[in-house]
Amino acid sequence: MHATHLTDVDIELLAQSGTYICMCPTTERDLADGIGPARTAADRGARITLGSDSHAVIDLFEEARAVELNERLASERRGHWRAADLLRSATVEGHTSLGFPDAGLLVPGAWADLVTLRLDSVRTAGAPDLEAVVFAATAADVHSVVSGGRRVVADGRHVLGDVGRMLTRAIGAVTGPETGAATGTATGTTTGTAPGAETGAAMGERR
């Protein structure tokens, strides 16, 4: 995990051993820890996956684009990663690294781990392609999630209820009522989607 400060020898050892590297770019950003050599490691043969190693950002779309955007800042150049490669790191490579090579793919016989996204949000409207998914979408644009054939998110809502409130109650049960007090916001979301306003991707971990 992380692989932020690697020497050339480190990179060669990781690549030659077939090691998976789990990049957590938003965590490194939060800690001011640096930018890992993801592109260099991948070019040498290491397999790149993505993770979120903190509660500061829990959004795999942000992790995916941060790999490219961070390298842009370091090099002052664009185009280190294609959107398709970043999506693969977030799906197929992640599943395979965890021992599930038959997941993260939209093919017959694979695990039914599916995600659909709204393409009519303020972030995705007008750009219904893979670039929009990787470089514009956020977790807030997730419309539906199916994990192992079981629907867990429908119309942007978890089937168990308001996840934020459930987390608040669970944290409060451990830390006390003050830190676990419920909070509200004056924001809302449109839950309806027009026909054809979704796109599918095999994006999600097996739970």
Query: Residue ranges per domain, the chain?
Result: 1-90
133 near 83, Cβ under 8 Å?
Answer: yes
Rounded CA separation 159/115 (Å): 14
Max Cα-Cα span within the chain: 52
> Is 50 exceeded by the pLDDT of residue 157?
yes
pLDDT-based confidence at 132, cuts 50/70/90?
Answer: confident
- Answer for the pair 138, 117: CB distance below 8 angstroms, yes or no: no
Distances (CA, A) of 146 to 59, 174, 204: 17, 30, 9
- pTM for the model stands at 0.80
CB-count burial class (<10 Å; 0-12, 13-18, 19+) for 32: exposed
**Mean pLDDT over each residue of the chain, to the nearest integer:** 86
Do the Cβ atoms of 30 and 57 come closer than 8 Å? Answer: yes
Q: How many CB atoms lie within 10 A of CB 102?
A: 12
Q: For 15-57, write each residue's pLDDT tens digit.
A: 999 899 999 999 999 999 999 999 999 999 999 999 988 887 8
Q: Regarding beta strands 157-158 and 150-154, do their DSSP bridges make them parallel or antiparallel, or are they unpaired? A: antiparallel
The tens digit of pLDDT for each residue in 66-121 reads: 999 999 999 999 999 999 999 999 999 999 999 999 988 888 989 989 999 999 99
pLDDT band at 181 (very low <50, low <70, confident <90, very high): low
Check: CB of residue 89 under 8 Å from CB of residue 67: yes
User: What is the distance, to the nearest Å, from the Cα of residue 26 to the centroid of all Cα atoms in its chain?
Assistant: 11
